[in-house]
Amino acid sequence: MFGSIFKRVIEISAIFTLGLGLAQAGEANWAKTSYAAVGKQTLVPYGWVDFCNRYEDECDDTSLSAMDVNLTPATQKILVRVNGWVNSHVKPLSDMQHWGVVDRWDYPTDGSGDCEDYVLYKRRLLMAEGFPRQALLVTVVKDEHGDGHAVLTVKTNQGEYILDNLREPIRAWEQTNYKFVKRQSQENPNIWVDIGGPAMPALVVSR
C-alpha cells in the first residue's frame, strides 16, 4: 500500500507543483526567520525508539555534518507540494483508534495516521526529493492547549520552517504559537536535544 501511495505522489507531482503547490505558495510565509535555540541532549521519545525497532534501515545511526536546505523558489515549491499532498491524502486517526495503543509512530500505509505519522511520511518524501536528512527534524511541541504534538522542522539557510498537519500554510517556527520541547539533532536522528528553556515533557503526541 505504501508503495502505491508513494508512486501516486510521483505521478501527480507535476500537477501539484503547477496547481495546489502554486496556489498554496502564497499562503506560506517565507519571510526570513530565525533559528530555535537548542540545548542539551535529552530523552529520545519512546515512539521514535519503537519506530526504529520496526524500521531499522530508516534509522541510520551514522553521524553526519549538519546541513541546511538552500531555500529557493524551487525548494519552496517542493515543500509546499509535499506538505499539501500528505495533509490532504492522510486521514487523521488517533493511535488508540488505529492501533489500539496510546502511542505508535508509523507510516500511514493505509491512508490514516496521527501527527507523527504525517511527519514521518513528509520526511521520507522530502528525502526522496533530495533534501538532506540533517535538515528534516522530527520535533515534539506542545500546542495551545498543552497537548503533545509532532511537527517537521525544516532547517534552511534562511531559518527554520514548520510543516504541520493541523495548519496548511508552512510557517516560521516562531509563528506557530507552539511550545517547542525537543527534536532530533542535525547530526544524528537518534540523538534528541532540548529546545529553549526547561519544559515538562510531552508524554504522548497525538494530533
Compute and round to an integer the Cα radius of gyration of the chain.
16
207 lies in some domain: no
Domain range for residue 188? Answer: 2-195
205 lies in some domain: no
204 lies in some domain: no
Query: Does the pLDDT of residue 20 top 60, yes or no?
Result: no
101: confidence class by pLDDT, cuts 50, 70, 90: very high
> The domain that contains 44 carries what CATH number?
3.10.620
Q: What pLDDT sits at residue 25?
A: 40
Half-sphere exposure of 121 (CA within 13 A, CB side): 30
Percent of the chain surpassing pLDDT 70: 82
**What is the count of structural domains for the chain?**
1
29: confidence class by pLDDT, cuts 50, 70, 90: confident
200 lies in some domain: no
Q: Residue range 92-101: average pLDDT?
A: 95
Q: Residue range 97-117: average pLDDT?
A: 96
DSSP assignment string, 58-118? GS---------B---HHHHHHHHHHHHHHHHHSEE--HHHHHSSS------TTSEE-HHHH
Query: Does the pLDDT of residue 190 top 70, yes or no?
Result: yes
Q: What pLDDT sits at residue 31?
A: 72
What pLDDT digit, counting tens, does each position of 116-138 carry?
A: 999 999 999 999 999 999 999 99
34 lies in some domain: yes
97 lies in some domain: yes
CA-based nearest residue to 178, from 192, 190, 193, 166: 166
Query: Does the pLDDT of residue 167 top 60, yes or no?
Result: yes
Q: Which has the minimum average pLDDT: 6-10, 62-66, 199-203?
A: 199-203
What pLDDT digit, counting tens, does each position of 71-95 carry?
A: 999 999 999 999 999 999 999 999 9
Query: Does the pLDDT of residue 53 top 60, yes or no?
Result: yes
203 lies in some domain: no
